[in-house]
Amino acid sequence: MSAPTVDVPAGVWLDVVGQPGAVDDLMAAVAATHDDPGVPTSAMTHAWLITGPPGSGRSTAARAFAAALQCTLRGCGQCLHCRTVLAGTHADVRTVIPEGLSISVKLMRKVVQDASRQPSTARRQIVIIEDADRLTEGAANALLKMVEEPPSHTVFLLCAPSTHPDDVSVTIRSRCRVLGLRAPSVTAIAEVLVRRDGIEPETARWAASVCGGHIGRARRLARDEGARSRREWVLGLASIRRLGQAYGAAEQLDKDAKSDAGEQLAGRNAGEIEELKTALGAGGTGKGAAAAARGTTGIVKELENRQKTRQTRTQRDIVDQALIELSGYYRDVVVTAEGARVPLSHPDRSEQSAAAAAEIGADGGLRRLEAVLACREAIEMNVKPQIALEALMTILSGVGQGR
């Protein structure tokens, strides 16, 4: 199979995959900051809200835009500004990446304070807020004050799934220019896997076709045998027909998520604790060392609490990925039962979804799809994952429900 080809822009825009319209708008905004003839100054504004489904590249687009704004060559991809912005080390570009369940007001106040300062090395201060839908009410209010009356040198780039009030408050949204991204095409995702990651074209095409438009997910599936095995196991949950199996599957899914989250974060957590203790003088032998060590207990405990919250978020994200896989499968069952001519979420499972469509019909598929979505919502509302998963697996098994 030959490698798929699509036209891609150069420089910092190279990794903004499958978003030609959005890239055009962002490049016009950059041009406006250079007073290009024919480009209205209104093409640029101080606050942007970049929306799109998971995996569409919201944060990637934000970083590329930030780099282009700081670059004297409008995003060459090679200069110091471009390289440091893309690497996350630029002195005048701050990125807020929520690792816990939310973005706190304390953190946002610090970000706003820093953003009000004059830039030190570049043309402006830029703040990128990934997952802005996780702003607490207090954090959103702190941000709103700055967005309402921003310094002339400051630009805010917010990333969120949508403009729905549940994701971004109406007041913040009204003060931002909204830039909508779409799920990249299979061809666009396959091309970037081949070009950037050196993946074989056939594997790239398969991964792109089953990733649900999520570039990062496609990369993991193409490169990680464990991710492929995990996907197979999750999709196999749709075949459970006994209540005992349903409860066992829920328990296993929850257990695996906890284990995977712990493995992912163990090294990082230990390193953070050790680094903090060293910074606080652990191991000192001078006068007052013992008293100073006792005074650091609360600081270490605060870090451990933050790490616990981060682990909970990671565990939920792992479970959520499994639920996304299942929702795609039952969506395939529904569209197959209805005879809709649309691409499947899991085209490599077309025979299985066709058999399920014949067995449970569109109504049965829709009932199960709604149960998966309800489970995702319950976990987000802090229902214990195992309890929510047990309720879900009971419905998926069809015990006592006929079809």
For 218-254, what is each residue's pLDDT tens digit?
A: 999 999 999 999 999 999 999 998 888 999 999 999 9
Return d(Cα 299, Cα 293) in angstroms, integer: 10
Angle, nearest 10°, between helix axes 20-33 and 58-70?
A: 20
**CA count, 13 A, side-chain hemisphere, 255:** 6
Per cent of the chain over pLDDT 90 is 67
Return d(Cα 363, Cα 398) in angstroms, integer: 12
Q: For 193-211, what is each residue's pLDDT tens digit?
A: 999 899 999 999 999 999 9
The Cα-based distances of 331 to 67, 117, 346, 385, 391 in angstroms read 39, 49, 10, 22, 19
Give the predicted TM-score (pTM) of the model: 0.81
SS3 98: coil
- What pLDDT does residue 295 have? 56
Per domain, the residue ranges of the chain are 11-180, 186-239, 243-397
Q: Calculate ∠ Cα 343-346-347, nearest 5°.
A: 60
Does residue 282 have a pLDDT over 80?
no
Q: For 122-143, what is each residue's pLDDT tens digit?
A: 989 999 999 999 999 999 999 9
* Amino acid, res. 393: M
Helix (H) or strand (E) run with residue 26 in it: helix 20-33
Q: Are 313 and 99 in contact (CB under 8 A)?
A: yes
- What pLDDT does residue 283 have? 56
CATH number, span 11-180: 3.40.50.300
